[in-house]
Amino acid sequence: METLWFCLVAFLLAGYVVLDGFDLGCGVAHLLIARTDAERQSVLRAIGPVWDGNEVWLLAAGGTLYFAFPALYAGAFSGFYLPLMIVLWLLILRGISIEFRNHIRSLVWQPLWDVVFASSSGLLAIFFGAALGNVVRGVPLDGQGEFFLPLWTDFTAGPNAGILDWYTVLVAVAALCAVTLHGALWLGLKAPGKLEARARRLASVVWWPTLATVIAITFASFHIQPHLRASFEAHPWFDVFPLIAVLGLAAVQVLNTRRRTLGAFLGSCVFLLGMLASVAAGLFPYVLPATGDPRLGLTVFNSAAPHYGLQVGLYWFIPGMLLTFGYFTYTYRSFTGKVE
Amino acid sequence: MDALTLHRLHFAFTITFHYLFPQLTMGLALLILVLKTMGLRTGNEHYHHAARFWAKIFAVNFAMGVVTGIPMEFQFGTNWSRFSKAAGGVIGQTLAMEGVFSFFLESSFLGVFLYGEKRLSPKAHWFAAFLVFLGSWLSGFFIIATDAWMQHPTGYVLGPHGEIVLSNFAALFTNPWLFWQYAHNMTGSVVTASFVMASTGAFYLLTKSHEEYGRTFVRTGVIAGVISTTLMAFPTGDGQAKNIALHQPPTLAAMEGLFHTENGAPLAILGQPDVEHQRLDNPLVLPNALSFLTYQRWHAEVRGLDAFAPERWPDNIPLLYYSYHIMIGLGTILSGVMVLGALALGLGRLYTLRPLLWLVMLMAPFPYIATTAGWITAEVGRQPWLIYGVMRTATGASARVSAGNTLFTLIGFMGIYTVLAMLFLLLIYREVEEGPEHAV
């Protein structure tokens, strides 16, 4: 039951990364490829009807994590206090920059919100990447399942590491590249004319640093988290997840150069899902490893809610998510094709 | 300030600011649905146009509600981790259900409602408005279910290490506290929306602009307002008070400033509680009225604070007393204004009686203050418990988050929210000034 809920929470988080990933990426690409006000409006229209719903996946993942793994929610959220608060501020700035931008027509109003939108999107990608890096590296959990990390210390990934050390910064850069690639591919699919061409060019350029950083974090992760190596050695079939990620990333470049924009975007989805599945499988049963004594790490089993709550949760979660698939199919279907 | 006080201020500040927006959108979703229904029934384009104008106001408020709402869910973990670890298995259920059942629904169909009118048939567009209304009212339901559990916990057992284990899922929704609190809160959101709509209409009539819409807005606002302000007092406010009398008797005594147990307790209208000397200074009271309102008997015994051990007393009695009296006082005034409006409407004078239009226009901020005071009453009244009778507030905060870090993020939120509030008022003023004719 605990493992099932671990898969469901991982599924919601993966849904968040794939869906909000592209609109964060559109934010990063915004100032890079959209030059005129009309082009910038096109970028916003390409995410307009869906970004808000995409962000709900984060809320749903948070809520589900809260009731299924309360000890993890409590420990991780209070330990990552400062970066989470900064994420909240960035989400606020990003949300209002999308909503407020088109209310007033002025030569100072739109450029201001464009810069806020682009920088908050980029910083969010960086912070989410750093968060993932922290989960893989582990945190100094005490016997109560609690910890507190400063934003940075000396940037070594040693026992006194902060949120940002060389490893988590590397993961953050990889996340920024991957999200930019994902967003550029979405714009390749949705944006018209010149903007589409520029989006596809950005995707084929940013593909290379994505590849380089992904290779780097793969090696670094095995170095920094011994449990990963142990799991992949114990379960050779786990290799299928990184393989899927590699195939997805390769398909992105092949299909993007052949102007198969939908295929390239789906390749990027597969790439992101493969990467996340590799991490989830490699860390299992840990959900938040400890940097000191490994026995202090939070696992699926020692952080889960009691059985009854998990059981009864299934009765509403499954119908609820089926309804959600219905809404998303409806909204995305009525939003096919290019924006003007 | 110590870390606990800062954690409390952090949550109090962010939730107070957040709830300024959903209290309008939930009520407004209902009023927009009323306008859409009128449009569908009469075939008059005027109502669809009016609905489009309010949809724009709704969208700005909704965005503010979303961006200030995400920090609320996060703060359970960041600032209240001991509470979350102990009770997450229970209240996480209702919070996760809010995400799955209402946020997905609301966010999906708000886009359809705002941008889909040209593509959809009038009936389908009405249905999108209905789904937005349903999503927002469901969201309120799950949040109130969460708060009701903290006010009056049900459906749990205590584990061997003091952990709180869910034992009866259905009991979360049959909680007697939930019904009246939900009814009272949602009626309150209709009060806010009614005043905002009526006040905007009065502004148009007084400035002689968009007068056709001004009349619709004043009329709709006054009719919805006279119904909702009445329901606010009876039965919902009365039901809520009886719940407090039954389940949180020290809170009732503190709200009323009743320090000593009395047969035939008076109802304090004015006065300042002096906790040091356990008396109400400068009292203006209605004799025996509190006994009657609580137990329907003029000489019933109402327990004062002296009937309870001081560690069961709410920890800020003056704040509780004032917020409760501000809520009741403003509620009475708001109800009176709406009754006057309804009388004028009945006499056919509503659109021309300028002093009344001035009064209605200037009333717009007060339902917000009354609602905020009501929530302060509920949450300060719950103290010193985080989960009433089960967990003390002092034991719920994150132990590893220091006072300095908490103050840093509190200041950060204060700065961001100040800027947000200014931008919000600017945009709303511009939308109102531009008027419904420009709503596309």
pLDDT (mean) for B232-236 = 94
- Looking at chain A, the whole-number percentage of residues with pLDDT higher than 90 is 87
Question: What is the per-residue pLDDT for B160?
Answer: 84
Is A129 inside any structural domain?
Answer: yes
Is A339 inside any structural domain?
Answer: no
Chain B residues lying within 8 Å of A58, measured CB to CB: 70
Q: What six digits make up the tokens of B250?
A: 């020290």
pLDDT higher than 80, residue B57: yes
Task: Say if residues B244 and B381 touch (Cβ distance below 8 Å).
Answer: yes
Q: For residue range A63-121, what is the model confidence (pLDDT) as tens digits?
A: 999 999 999 999 999 999 999 999 999 999 999 999 999 888 899 999 999 999 999 99
Chain A residues lying within 8 Å of B98, measured CB to CB: 63
3-state class of B279 per DSSP?
strand
User: In terms of CA atoms, which chain A residue is nearest residue B166?
Assistant: A309
pLDDT (mean) for A38-57 = 91
Contact check, Cβ <8 Å, A103/B430:
yes
Mark which residues 115-154 of B lie under 8 Å from A by CB. 115-116, 119
Q: How far is A230 from chain B (nearest CA, A)?
A: 30
Q: For residue range B131-163, what is the model confidence (pLDDT) as tens digits?
A: 999 999 999 999 999 999 999 999 999 988 778
Mark which residues 162-191 of B lie under 8 Å from A by CB. 165-167, 169
Q: What six digits make up the tokens of B52?
A: 């489009």
Question: What is the β-pairing status of strands B267-274 and B301-302?
Answer: unpaired
Chain B residues lying within 8 Å of A147, measured CB to CB: 400
Largest CA distance in chain B: 69
pLDDT higher than 70, residue B439: no
**φ/ψ (deg, to 5) at B286:** -100, 115
Contact check, Cβ <8 Å, A312/B70:
no
Computed over every residue of chain A, the mean pLDDT equals 94
pLDDT (mean) for A196-217 = 96
3-state class of A320 per DSSP?
helix
Asked if B234 is an interface residue toward chain A (Cβ–Cβ < 8 A), one would say no
User: Which of B328, B432, B417, B315 has its CA nearest to residue B64?
Assistant: B417
Question: What is the per-residue pLDDT for A79?
Answer: 95
Asked if A150 is an interface residue toward chain B (Cβ–Cβ < 8 A), one would say no
**Structural domain count, chain A:** 1
Is A279 inside any structural domain?
Answer: yes
- HSE-up (13 A, CA, CB side) for residue A266: 5
Q: Which amino acid is at B184?
A: H
How far is Cα A175 from Cα A275, in angstroms, rounded to an integer? 11
Computed over every residue of chain B, the mean pLDDT equals 95
How far is Cα B398 from Cα B400, in angstroms, rounded to an integer? 6
Task: Say if residues A138 and A225 touch (Cβ distance below 8 Å).
Answer: yes
User: Which of B2, B15, B89, B57 has its CA nearest to residue B371?
Assistant: B15
Q: What is the ipTM of this complex?
A: 0.94
> Which contiguous run of DSSP H or E holds residue B120?
none
Question: What is the per-residue pLDDT for A73?
Answer: 96
Question: What is the per-residue pLDDT for A153?
Answer: 87
Place of tokens 């009405």: B126
Chain B residues lying within 8 Å of A75, measured CB to CB: 81, 85
Task: List the domain range (segments joined by +) for residue A87.
Answer: 2-333
According to DSSP, residue A154 is labeled: S
Q: For residue range B8-28, what is the model confidence (pLDDT) as tens digits?
A: 999 999 999 999 999 999 999
pLDDT (mean) for A14-37 = 95
Q: For residue range B387-432, what is the model confidence (pLDDT) as tens digits?
A: 999 999 999 999 999 999 999 999 999 999 999 999 999 999 999 9
pLDDT (mean) for B253-263 = 94
Is A338 inside any structural domain?
Answer: no
- Looking at chain B, the whole-number percentage of residues with pLDDT higher than 90 is 94
Task: Say if residues A139 and A69 touch (Cβ distance below 8 Å).
Answer: no
Q: Which of A55, A124, A127, A327 to mutate to test the interface with B (most CBs of B within 10 A)?
A: A327
Label residue B440 by pLDDT band (50, 70, 90): low
Contact check, Cβ <8 Å, B107/A52:
yes
Contact check, Cβ <8 Å, B93/A313:
yes
Q: Which amino acid is at A63?
A: G
Contact check, Cβ <8 Å, A328/B416:
no
Which of B66, B73, B100 is the closest to A321 by Cβ? Answer: B100
How far is Cα B390 from Cα B312, in angstroms, rounded to an integer? 12
Is A235 inside any structural domain?
Answer: yes
Task: Say if residues A279 and A291 touch (Cβ distance below 8 Å).
Answer: no
Q: Which of B68, B75, B84 to mutate to test the interface with A (most CBs of A within 10 A)?
A: B84
What are the CB-based long-range contacts (under 8 Å, 24+) for B388-396?
A: B388/B150, B388/B151, B388/B152, B388/B153, B388/B247, B388/B248, B389/B153, B390/B153, B390/B158, B390/B164, B391/B83, B391/B86, B391/B87, B391/B164, B393/B4, B393/B8, B394/B4, B395/B82, B395/B83, B396/B80, B396/B82, B396/B83, B396/B86
Distances (CA, A) of A217 to A156, A230, B67, B290: 15, 17, 32, 69
Domain map of chain B by residue range?
A: 211-393
Q: Which of B17, B66, B109, B163 to mutate to test the interface with A (most CBs of A within 10 A)?
A: B66
